[in-house]
């Protein structure tokens, strides 16, 4: 573990998880809260890690009309929790969020499979759905609309960057005497301390 750079440690742990996890090693639980403090959590996929500017950032994408996006716009504080069961490790990341730039969103959107790009147009994420047939009809509608041509990114689809103020690394140890190291971002640098399990 790098005692001065938790983002580097996270990248190393993620690389190990990519070799050992059977499914979606970038999956993490995103926790948000409403303006009045009610928490909510759901799984998202990490799609990027920024190294600069410090303290870096953890990037994920979503529909801007989704519950998570609405909560982040009202209260930008959030947390991510990664759990790699095969490695017996987890990482918690907490901090403020911000929207990625339109250019960043465009660049990532262009890498998505065609069906996922159509889905971004067809899904009114987090809104009530009368039936699966309605969703399938919307998919067909946008497939006709775009044909074989380019599928631009909808204005309602973008990403968020979580800028970490706290990163905690947890490793399973015998007798539940787990190893916990927490990094705090303050005064332009990281401070690390060990925690009781």
From 88, 176, 180, 191, active-site residue: 176
Residue 48, number of CB atoms within 10 A of its CB? 16
CA distance 165 to 121: 34
Phi, psi for residue 89 in degrees, rounded to 5:
-140, 155
Q: What angle do CA 30, 196, 85 make, to 5 degrees?
A: 45
DSSP string, 92-106: EEEEEEEEPPHHHHH
CA 27 to chain CA centroid, Å, is: 8
How many Å apart are CA 55 and CA 53, to the nearest integer? 6
Lookup: tokens for 82: 């990664």
| Whether residue 73 lies in the annotated active site | no
Instruction: Give 189's contacts (C-beta < 8 A, 6+ positions apart).
Output: 4
Retrieve residue 30's tokens: 């995103």
Tell me if 167 sits within 8 A of 184, measured CB to CB: no
The residues annotated with a catalytic role in the active site are 176
């Amino acid at each position: 573990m790098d005692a001065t750079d938790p983002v580097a440690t996270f990248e190393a742990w993620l690389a190990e998880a990519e070799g050992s996890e059977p499914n979606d090693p970038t999956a993490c639980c995103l926790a948000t809260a409403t303006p009045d403090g009610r928490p909510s959590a759901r799984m998202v996929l990490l799609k990027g890690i920024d190294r600069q500017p410090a303290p870096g950032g953890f990037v994920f994408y979503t529909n801007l009309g989704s519950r998570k996006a609405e909560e982040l716009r009202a209260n930008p504080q959030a947390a991510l929790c990664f759990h790699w069961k095969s490695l017996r490790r987890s990482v918690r990341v907490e901090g403020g969020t911000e929207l990625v730039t339109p250019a960043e969103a465009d660049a990532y959107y262009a890498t998505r499979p065609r069906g996922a790009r159509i889905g971004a147009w067809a899904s009114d994420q987090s809104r009530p759905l009368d039936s699966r047939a309605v969703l399938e009809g919307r998919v067909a509608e946008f497939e006709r609309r775009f044909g074989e041509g380019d599928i631009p990114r909808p204005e309602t689809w973008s990403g968020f960057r979580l800028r970490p103020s706290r990163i905690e690394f947890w490793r399973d140890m015998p007798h539940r005497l787990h190893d916990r190291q927490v990094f705090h971002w303050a005064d332009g640098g990281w401070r690390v301390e060990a925690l009781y399990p």
